Chain A
Amino acid sequence: MTATASPATRSAAGAPDLTRAALSGRRRFTNHLATAAIWLAVLLAVVPLALVIYEVVAKGGGVMNMSFLTEDIPNSYRRDGGGMAPAIVGTLLITGAAALMAIPLGVFGAIYLNEYGKQRPLARVIRLMADVMTGVPSIVMGLFIYISWVLLVGQQTGFAGALALACLMLPVVIRSSEEMLRLVPDELRQASMALGARKWKTTLTVVLPAAISGITSGSLLAVARAAGETAPIIIVTGIVFSPNVNLFDGFNTALPAQIFRNASQPFEAAQDRAWGAALTLIVIVLGFTIIARLISSRFAIKER
């Protein structure tokens, strides 16, 4: 098969002189033009990425030091110095709490889709709606949590932010975990069932462990995305200038919200803080992303 197919794929380089010499100038030119355009497209994606990372590292690196990571946020945008500790604490706590809520629920949702629902109408609707839910704007999720939680308890809190991020993470976790569960070979399920294990036991002790590395990496990617979400945090968590470790009482803040607030200020001190916060955030987000990729490449189930 491959032996007969491979000469065809390399038509231009092939042995008979049918091809390149016979090619009219116009066709050859169009082909070269298209190839150049494709390379240009790749370049157009690389340039902004390189520029944004360069700017963040260059400008953020300038303000980065131990006190930036450990001091309180100055309560005036004009004031020099200070740090981002409250926002770092907030980001880690809020995202962590969101992950604790969204990942288990999402994994169980995925178990429903792949082990019980399969191609039933209800499962297909849930699958479609999970995909649609990943497209719901984060600001709308922020408004939703504001109405259904903040107005209910009467206070903006870090936990409200965690709820909003959890809602944003949930569909991502469901869909990526489902993909991973689908890769688990059916023989494992059959073997476990043949040994007399109940379906719930099979699922929890055989299927889930087999897919756990993929689920972990998918979930980490969802966490990384959520850590960078800004709009819901601004709507539902309020703002603080010193660290608040209690998610259920009092306002909180997070790195993205601080970047947003400081970026639109005309004062250089504020803009510097925004760049520093951006560098911190990127390091956190890329950290999660890299760990996720390492896990998935190291422990991946081989596709069959």
Chain B
Amino acid sequence: MTLTNKSPDPRSALAQRGRSALGDRVFSWWTLGTGLLVLAILGLILITTVREAWPAFDAMGFRFITERVWDPNPATGDAIFGALSFAYGTAISSLIALLFAVPVSVGIALFLTELAPRRLRGPAVTVIDLLAAVPSVVFGLWGILVVGPALVPVYQWIHDVFGGVPVLGSLFGPVTTGRNFMTAGLILAIMVTPIITSITREVFSTVPRADKDAALALGATRWEMIRGAVFPHSFGGVVGAVMLGLGRAMGETIAVALVIGGATNITANLFAPGNSMAAVIVQQFGESTGTFTAALIGLGVVLFAMTVLINVLAQVIVRRAEARMKGSVA
């Protein structure tokens, strides 16, 4: 009886409409707004950059991406803005980076998940964290003043040894400077290793204990267990991680701008200087006007579209792989 008598009071207090209910609604709208900010910024990036780059797209048409000549200030005639050489440089330097970074990252991830003694695991993670923490411009500084010059004799030696071999000869051509595609790729490899490692490691750690134990119980060595249980299970996730690394490598600006050499160049020779899309923007933006600026922003549009595409794909792949694995664990 007393309960029923008292009940109206708390109910009226709890169900009371007014200021605090309004507060709730305002708060939820406000948080939704900040969440939508992400979508708004991405949309605005696309709209504003495309609009600002339009004069260049308009002047060049499809030649903007198929033309290899980049001549903002020609002696006679119209300026020519072709992104192909820079797209080539971006692709080559990123591919070199992945070629080195992927095996190393997978190795470190295996070390952390399968091999490392407990007391080495912490320090190994710290190394990766520190590698990720070093600003890219510092790697660039190190690359241009230390690594580049130090690698010239190594490049020269490789050229001397393989220069006469048909295919390798064109890849390892004459060396003119330490600032070239190869150095850019190597510096990029160091910079994308942390992200590939951390995602690969997460993917490896979701491999079910039972799968690994089963392989070992059948008499597999550790390597056979990794090949038979860990790799098949995590292939999708590793592909996603590699694509995320590719996205980072393509968008990296400053380190590449310092070490790639700054030449508009399409060549098979990995020891030749070239340039990448991101690097060209930062090198030439300060001295550009009019259509030239529009063309540089156009490079940014192409870069943005490519990295977003790669990142969306990679995220979807990683998510799907993770979801599938969680399912199999349960």
The CA of A284 and the CA of B65, in the complex, are separated in Å by: 41
Interface residue tally for chain B (C-beta within 8 Å)? 96
A126 lies within 8 A of chain B by Cβ: yes
Contacts A108-B31, A139-B251 known; list 9 others, CB within 8 Å: A11-B217, A55-B142, A132-B315, A137-B278, A144-B49, A198-B21, A228-B134, A285-B133, A286-B133
Interface residue tally for chain A (C-beta within 8 Å)? 97
B68 lies within 8 A of chain A by Cβ: no
Note all chain B residues with C-beta closer than 8 A to A167: 41
A131 lies within 8 A of chain B by Cβ: yes
Closest to B311 in A: A135
Interface SS of chain B: helix
Within 8 A of A (CB), among B108-145: 108, 110-111, 115, 124, 127-131, 133-142, 144-145
Note all chain A residues with C-beta closer than 8 A to B315: 128, 131-132
B24–A263 CB distance below 8 A = no
A111–B31 CB distance below 8 A = yes
Q: Within the complex, which residue of B146, B221, B254, B310 is in contact with A27, where a contact is CB–CB below 8 Å?
A: B221
Q: Within the complex, which residue of B28, B31, B224, B253 is in contact with A138, where a contact is CB–CB below 8 Å?
A: B253
B258–A234 CB distance below 8 A = no
A171-B115 contact given A23-B221, A45-B127, A115-B31, CB 8 Å threshold: no
Closest to A289 in B: B133
Note all chain A residues with C-beta closer than 8 A to B297: 143, 147
B44 lies within 8 A of chain A by Cβ: yes
Shortest beta-carbon distance from B176 to chain A in Å: 16
Q: Which residues of B contact A (CB under 8 A)?
A: 13-14, 20-21, 23-24, 26-28, 30-32, 34-39, 41-42, 44-45, 48-49, 52, 103-108, 110-111, 115, 124, 127-131, 133-142, 144-146, 190, 193, 197, 209, 212-213, 216-217, 219-224, 226, 244, 247-248, 250-254, 257-258, 278, 281-282, 285-286, 296-297, 300, 303-304, 307-308, 310-312, 315-316, 319
Contact indicator per residue, chain A 18-30, by CB within 8 Å of chain B (1) or not (0):
1100110001101
A230–B135 CB distance below 8 A = yes
Closest to A139 in B: B253
A198–B20 CB distance below 8 A = yes
A27–B140 CB distance below 8 A = no
Note all chain A residues with C-beta closer than 8 A to B144: 263-264
Closest 3 CB pairs of A and B: A41-B107, A228-B135, A137-B251
A45-B222 contact given A135-B311, A231-B278, CB 8 Å threshold: no
Note all chain A residues with C-beta closer than 8 A to B35: 108-109, 112-113, 117, 123, 126, 174
Closest to A197 in B: B20
